[in-house]
């Protein structure tokens, strides 16, 4: 079991991958799509649509919310972005190219998120495939907790 950190990836690398995905599937290479990709890869958090949409407003490139949803779908499909449902309320997203498989420990109170990786989770899913008629595609482990800062009422911000 070890704690993992967001990795910095070259924008050029993911841009190239996105371009290939768009070309291979007959999608258009619009400036809006690249602007969103760039913004996402400059972030290190688990953002939702609203956060991303507001940040895009401050960029030189104006992007509508419909386009944000559309582009997030494309990026999710080509594995450049991962979508999560931490609380069943809003969907959260994170960049995921070149990122090690990880799960999330979330402070219920303030949303602080810690990423971790543990081989035992994968082992469980492999074993599950043996015991059932299911073909396993993936998993999502969400651990809920309360961070020290919340317990002591200190000022802090989510990661």
Query: Which of DNA, its own copies, none does residue 146 bind to, with CB < 5 to 8 Å depending on kind?
Result: its own copies
**Pair of tokens at residue 109:** 């109170």
Is residue 84 a contact partner of residue 140, using CB atoms and an 8 Å limit? yes
Contacts of 73 by beta carbon, 8 Å cutoff, 6+ apart: none
Residue 22 or 105 having the CB closest to its own copies: 105
Site string for DNA, 131-150 (x = CB under 7 A): --------------------
Q: For residue 71, give the 3-state DSSP assignment.
A: helix
How many other C-beta atoms can be found within 10 angstroms of the C-beta atom of residue 85? 11
Is residue 143 a contact partner of residue 3, using CB atoms and an 8 Å limit? no
* Window 37 to 66, contacts with DNA (CB under 7 A): 48-50, 62-66
Instruction: Find the binder of DNA among 17, 51, 78, 91 (CB under 7 A).
Output: 91
Residue 8 or 25 having the CB closest to DNA: 25
DSSP for 98-131, written as a single string? TPPP-EEEEETTT--EEEEE-HHHHHHHHHHHHH
> Using the rule CB under 7 A, is 32 a contact of DNA?
yes
Instruction: Please give the residue ranges that form the binding site for its own copies (CB under 8 A).
Output: 1-3, 85, 87-88, 91, 105, 107-108, 114, 116, 118, 120-121, 123-125, 127-129, 131-149, 151
Which residues of this protein are in contact with DNA, per CB under 7 A?
22, 26-33, 48-50, 62-67, 69-71, 73, 88-91
């Amino acid at each position: 079991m070890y704690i993992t950190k967001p990795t910095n990836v070259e924008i050029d690398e993911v841009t190239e991958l996105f371009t290939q995905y768009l070309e291979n599937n007959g999608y258009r290479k619009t400036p809006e799509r690249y602007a969103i990709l760039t913004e996402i890869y400059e972030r290190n958090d688990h953002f939702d649509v609203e956060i991303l949409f507001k940040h895009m407003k401050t960029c030189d490139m104006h992007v509508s919310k419909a386009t944000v949803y559309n582009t997030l779908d494309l990026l999710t499909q080509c594995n450049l972005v991962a979508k999560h449902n931490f609380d069943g309320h809003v969907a959260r997203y994170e960049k995921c190219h070149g990122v090690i498989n990880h799960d999330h420990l979330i402070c219920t109170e303030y949303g602080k998120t810690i990423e971790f990786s543990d081989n035992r989770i994968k082992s469980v899913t492999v074993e599950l495939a043996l015991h059932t008629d299911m073909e396993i595609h993936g998993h999502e482990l969400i651990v809920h907790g309360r961070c020290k800062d919340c317990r002591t009422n200190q000022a802090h911000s989510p990661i």
